[in-house]
A and B are shown apart, each in its own frame.
Chain A
């Protein structure tokens, strides 16, 4: 599915495109970042880091990840893929974090 040049796209569909893309970048990006923070925190804690150290590093990694996927979401061609990739990775990462937690407690 190749996109027509932006200037030729009819304004309404372009506006919808932009709205979807911005929503995908913000919300999808947040789910992805949450998954990253949770998984990184739980794994670092499992690796015997102090909880607050793990939490801090997890947040650090998650924030950098959020910025990068945010940029990618705006720049990449297909908006559907953005949503699928971000949720498809973010949710399993969050689930994995809960699993790691269940092993430790």
Chain B
């Protein structure tokens, strides 16, 4: 099919890059935003604009909150079909209680799993969720959309296409192609070192676009490669290659039996009721043990298994804020006595590699500069893909104009939609979040609709305005949408001020960076968009003068 290996690589790079680049843009852009997902959550849910809190006392705060929890009626109804006989109205047998927090969370997420009597699959649990204020245990509304961690974050790995995990598969396949595109890109150019230092903005349009594509590609090459790879690895065992749940299920079972024997952590309830000893004392002991191993730190994850049973046990995991590797260092106690059952052994070399690679992607560490470098890396990836689109269009549009083909126009419209349209959709959901009435039922759904609606409008606009591309000229939609970004980004900041009273002077004076940071980032985006729009406008006027002078020669 191809005459040479390099030609094949160029074909793969161009066409797979074009088709899946749109998905990769979304993964990179929303992944970059997810680095600050907790901070975006604070901006979006003003009731939670408080300082990050450590894991609170179990006896004083967590236990009363857990005891108040029950599954939602909707979840009970959804489960009904998987149960023989009627569903109970109250679930009393608690399989597990757990609480999760990070060093950036002012609110605490609680999970409770309950045994369901007569469930067709006796292992299946029904879950209840709650969000509490860790300072006093008061329940915060759990139905508010956490735009950062509940929307941008799942969007970056699954496009929020939940049906049969379709989105996760699309993003996974795109990540695979990304790895292939990086390798093929290196094969295509070979002059890797020179490209680090090559950017000729003054040269012909095509040349400088390609320079920027190559530059952003190679500067962040390890970042791009490792993020695609670690993203795939994180989901490989669960979604992409679930050998342990399917083909090698028996091996997995064997491992679980061996592990239960080795760890002494009971897999099942004993059926004998038992009281729970002081969990706070167990947490204190766990912290003491970490400190003895030079791993001082806060609790990230606390689990009580088989609540109320003599087989119950408590697992305390560390929040790994002091290193890249995602470590648990779990310590387990017998629930009824508080006696130490087991301390997780030091990780094996493979586990250390796995912890490092997943930690590298999920960034639980406390290091703000490194966090910003992640954002920069993600945006560099987005620039690399966007310049790839522009190069594709610029290279072909004159030829397509002569042939009367619409190809370049379509790709250009899609590129506008994925570059400026995606930013507009992001601003759309933030603005909807500030404008929708507080008590609106299904408020989170409306915010999501606003996001997709704005994106759809951007697509239609880019398509309608794209006619000049088919004549070999530039699409004015680039400039118009860049202006729209500038306006909407400023509007989002103003709306935040009007609806919550948190203007920048106040948040900066208070040092409340989650909200101040989002506002500053929005203003910076507005500035960049306005500058870009002005430059595109100036270039379009030059182009216009040139073509109108050249026009008579054509006719």
- Which residues from chain A sit less than 8 Å from chain B, CB to CB? 3, 5-6, 14, 17-18, 21, 26, 33-34, 37-38, 41-42, 45, 49-53, 55-60, 62-63, 66-67, 70-71, 74-75, 77, 79, 94, 97-98, 101, 104-105
Which B residues, 252 to 297, have Cβ-Cβ distances below 8 Å to chain A?
252-255
Minimum C-beta distance from A59 to chain B (A): 4
The chain A residue with its CB closest to the CB of B182 is A67
A75 and B8 CA atoms in complex are apart in Å by 5
Question: Which B residues touch A21, using CB under 8 A?
Answer: 1
> Are A45 and B255 in contact, CB atoms less than 8 angstroms apart?
yes
Tell which of B49-57, B236-244, B511-519 binds the partner. Answer: B236-244
> Are B350 and A57 in contact, CB atoms less than 8 angstroms apart?
yes
What number of A-B contacts does a CB cutoff of 8 Å give? 113
> Are A38 and B243 in contact, CB atoms less than 8 angstroms apart?
yes
> Are A5 and B233 in contact, CB atoms less than 8 angstroms apart?
no
> Are A53 and B351 in contact, CB atoms less than 8 angstroms apart?
yes
> Are B254 and A55 in contact, CB atoms less than 8 angstroms apart?
no
A63 and B241 CA atoms in complex are apart in Å by 9
Question: Which A residues touch B251, using CB under 8 A?
Answer: 41-42, 45, 51, 101, 104-105
Question: Which A residues touch B233, using CB under 8 A?
Answer: 56, 59-60, 63
A65 and B337 CA atoms in complex are apart in Å by 50
Is the CB of B247 closer than 8 A to any CB of chain A?
yes
Q: Interface 1/0s, chain B 1-28, versus A by CB < 8 A?
A: 1110101110110000000000000000
Of the candidates A5, A37, A51, A77, the one whose C-beta lies within 8 Å of that of B255 is A51
Of the candidates B12, B229, B237, the one whose C-beta lies within 8 Å of that of A74 is B12
Of the candidates A56, A67, A71, the one whose C-beta lies within 8 Å of that of B237 is A56
> Are B244 and A41 in contact, CB atoms less than 8 angstroms apart?
yes
A58 and B255 CA atoms in complex are apart in Å by 16
The chain B residue with its CB closest to the CB of A18 is B1
Minimum C-beta distance from B109 to chain A (A): 25
> Are B1 and A51 in contact, CB atoms less than 8 angstroms apart?
no
> Are A67 and B354 in contact, CB atoms less than 8 angstroms apart?
no
Question: Which A residues touch B179, using CB under 8 A?
Answer: 67
> Are A105 and B183 in contact, CB atoms less than 8 angstroms apart?
no
> Are B1 and A79 in contact, CB atoms less than 8 angstroms apart?
yes
> Are A63 and B236 in contact, CB atoms less than 8 angstroms apart?
yes
The chain A residue with its CB closest to the CB of B236 is A59
A89 and B8 CA atoms in complex are apart in Å by 24
Q: A71-B184, A105-B254 are in contact. Are A53 and B12 (CB under 8 A)?
A: no
Q: Chain B CB within 10 Å — which of A14, A42, A52, A105 has the most?
A: A52
> Are B244 and A67 in contact, CB atoms less than 8 angstroms apart?
no
Question: Which B residues touch A55, using CB under 8 A?
Answer: 237, 243-244
Of the candidates B229, B237, B248, the one whose C-beta lies within 8 Å of that of A97 is B248
Is the CB of B173 closer than 8 A to any CB of chain A?
yes
Question: Which B residues touch A71, using CB under 8 A?
Answer: 9, 12, 180, 183-184
Question: Which A residues touch B250, using CB under 8 A?
Answer: 101, 105
Minimum C-beta distance from A80 to chain B (A): 12
The chain A residue with its CB closest to the CB of B353 is A56
Question: Which B residues touch A75, using CB under 8 A?
Answer: 2, 5, 8-9, 12
The chain A residue with its CB closest to the CB of B5 is A75
> Are A50 and B254 in contact, CB atoms less than 8 angstroms apart?
no
Of the candidates B5, B232, B236, B248, the one whose C-beta lies within 8 Å of that of A101 is B248
> Are A34 and B255 in contact, CB atoms less than 8 angstroms apart?
no
Given contacts A58-B243, A75-B2, 14 further A-B contacts (CB under 8 A): A37-B236, A37-B241, A37-B243, A50-B348, A52-B351, A53-B354, A56-B233, A63-B232, A63-B236, A70-B177, A74-B9, A75-B5, A77-B1, A79-B1
